[in-house]
Structure 1
Amino acid sequence: MRIIGLILIALLSLTSVTSTAQAAKVTVVVNGQTITDYDINQRALFMRLERRGKSNSDRRKLAEEELIDEALKTAEARRLGFEANEKAVDQAYTRIAINAKLSVAKLNTILTAAGVQSKTLKDRLRAQYAWQAVVSNVLRQKVKISDLDLDLAAKEKLGETTTYDYMLTEVLFLDSAGGSVKSRTAQANQYRKNFNGCDSAVELSLSYRDAAVRKLGRRHSTQLAEPVAAELAKLSVGSISKPRTVANGVQMLAICQKSAAEDLTFVKNKLRNDVGTEKLETEADAYLEKLRKEASIERR
């Protein structure tokens, strides 16, 4: 997510920027809603953190257009009866801090050091929530995807690259055992070396501290991360993947059963999601463009 990236950048190259409170000079009026020079300056400073725009003047132009779009989005959401949930906005703001491994107070400090008020980020989140409501409730119903087209696309995709159905067992070396990722990976590699099939996976795990084994059941290639799917495609039944670092430890996947996929359901679901997202974005762009054409936008 772009916002998380900007926080990490700020941490690495934090420089104090003095934000001068400017007079609230109205620069743009969108259907009666004002956008001030201060609003534009704040958004431009925020874009600077995101590394958007080639220059300050370029960022101000981008900021002005973005704020006009957001004014249209929030007004349309309000017209349709969708109000931004302030609690949800606050929670999203908190998640940004958590994902960047920061406290909310530290996030506020970083933004302030860059001359950006927390309100600027929250206003952006508020507009995003409002527009998501419009897209989900108004535009999604306009997106029609033919099952026949999906069938043809799924068969073509299967023809391009063979996909598989698996019965998988996960072996996880938990980080709760202490020690470094390196040491847990070394233990996982030792386990892998001695692995002799799914039937003995649990028994073998008893020789290691905090090694958990659980059956994942059926998984289709499209339900796995691409690097994992690519590795498993090359392995035979009874084999186990190389250790990978995950959120709660070091993970390996053992193949208990494997067969070439004949069921197109998983492939179709992924295609439906990809195609649907693309069509929805097109509908949303067209809807926003229509709002712009019909709007009263006065630049001062």
Structure 2
Amino acid sequence: MLSMRNYLFSAGLALLVAAASVSITATASPAFASEIKYVVNNVPITTGDIAHRAAFLKLQRKKGSAADEMIDQTLRVAEARRLGIRISDAQVEAAYQRFATTNKMQLKQLDGVMAQSGVGKEHFKEFIRAQMAWNQALSARYRSGEGGSVSEQDAVRRMLDKGGAKPTAMEYMLQQVIFVVPAAERSATLAKRKREADAMRARFNGCNTTREFAKGLIDVTVRDLGRILAPQLPPDWAEQIKATKVGGATATRETDRGVEFIGICSSREVSDDKAAQMVFQSEGSNDKNADELSKKYVEELRKKARIVER
């Protein structure tokens, strides 16, 4: 069963069964004329964008309107941006690499498949960026109650009615360390700041000494994130946090704020009504729920949008 935060991304990338049979000897994408076809809330969608998406649908062996998909993607990206969600280039590149690895391909091979099919790696990467951002927006909507939120007591009652015991969940005490990189200085200082963050992360041995380590460093922010249950972990960090031992820290990551890592101060298994609620909602977020919630959300965005066809 896929979780809400992974559903759209995973389902949207089920294409390499078809791609595996595509010849990758050629490396040049078909040339697409590019004129503005739609303007969605002042954001243009070109005939080239639509042609790339049509090729993507063909590669997936999937029916649908390429134009409608591009309109929906534009609306999703804008909504994620409104919510303050940003997906960095580094996150996209990492996802692209993971996709190649999962499908037992070298990056060059995947680039070739995308070029030969007419999709193009840049179009695919923007699709990945949009899906990752939308997953976070959808997760936020689900947690806010749109996905069928239940009270703590109702969650416990439903689980007990099914013959199960009250569930447990891991509770983490976390600390976030941010090596701040102003946008104007990003290209010049990001690599240097990453080296500094990696050095501090290597010395990390518990949350009590973090601020001492940070004292002599410029523009370093240390935030105590408090107690967080496993189902509430930020999607981008969840797997790393779960894989890191207490007293250790996750690998550093480039984000819009700069370079970050998260320290695991402590963890414990808890069994209470709040944990039950979180686990129930997490387990209840299946493919059907995710699909229905996504469709409803996009329909709302379409009703409010100004979509002009040229």
User: What TM-score range do you get, normalising by the shorter chain?
Assistant: 0.5 to 0.7
Mapped partners of 1:22, 1:13: distance in 2: 20
Aligned to 1:157: 162
1:9 and 2:18 aligned? yes
Cα shift at 1:136? 3.7
Q: CA RMSD in A?
A: 3.4
Aligned to 2:70: 67
C-alpha distance after superposition, 1:97-148 (max 9, x if no partner): 0001111111001121212200111111111122233234455223531233
* Bigger relative contact order (CA 8 A; separation at least 6): 2
Matched residue type, 2:298: L
What's the % identity of the aligned pairs? 30
The DSSP-based 3-state class of the residue aligned with 2:163 is helix
The DSSP-based 3-state class of the residue aligned with 2:45 is strand
The structure-2 alpha-carbon separation of the partners of 1:130 and 1:103, relative to structure 1 and needing over 3 Å to count, comes to: same
Mapped partners of 2:14, 2:140: distance in 1: 30
Aligned to 2:103: 100
Mapped partners of 2:285, 2:20: distance in 1: 37
The DSSP-based 3-state class of the residue aligned with 2:87 is coil
C-alpha distance after superposition, 1:162-221 (max 9, x if no partner): 9xxxxxxxxxxxxxxxxxxxxxxxxxxxxxxxxxxxxxxxxxxxxxxxxxxxxxxxxxxx
The structure-2 alpha-carbon separation of the partners of 1:128 and 1:273, relative to structure 1 and needing over 3 Å to count, comes to: same
> Which of residues 136, 143, 153 is equivalent to 1:133?
136
1:22 and 2:32 aligned? yes
The DSSP-based 3-state class of the residue aligned with 2:33 is coil
1:147 and 2:152 aligned? yes
Mapped partners of 2:45, 2:57: distance in 1: 17
1:77 and 2:80 aligned? yes
The structure-2 alpha-carbon separation of the partners of 1:276 and 1:114, relative to structure 1 and needing over 3 Å to count, comes to: closer
Matched residue type, 1:50: Q
Using structure 2 for the length normalisation, give the TM-score.
Answer: 0.53
Matched residue type, 1:272: Q
The structure-2 alpha-carbon separation of the partners of 1:16 and 1:299, relative to structure 1 and needing over 3 Å to count, comes to: farther
The DSSP-based 3-state class of the residue aligned with 1:158 is coil
The DSSP-based 3-state class of the residue aligned with 2:308 is strand
Matched residue type, 2:19: A
Mapped partners of 1:139, 1:2: distance in 2: 18
Aligned to 2:306: 296
Structure with greater Cα Rg: 1
Cα shift at 1:4? 5.6
Aligned to 2:119: 116
Using structure 1 for the length normalisation, give the TM-score.
Answer: 0.55
Aligned to 1:220: none
Matched residue type, 1:274: E
Cα shift at 1:281? 5.6
Aligned positions, number: 194
The DSSP-based 3-state class of the residue aligned with 1:78 is helix
Matched residue type, 2:81: R
Cα shift at 1:33? 0.8
C-alpha distance after superposition, 1:51-95 (max 9, x if no partner): 101xxxxx4x2x111111111111122233322211101110110
5+ residue gaps, structure 1, are 54-58, 163-262
Matched residue type, 1:87: A
Mapped partners of 2:101, 2:56: distance in 1: 19
Cα shift at 1:28? 1.1
The DSSP-based 3-state class of the residue aligned with 1:12 is coil
1:32 and 2:42 aligned? yes
5+ residue gaps, structure 2, are 1-9, 166-270
CA contact (8 A) 1:23 1:38 kept: yes
The DSSP-based 3-state class of the residue aligned with 1:90 is helix
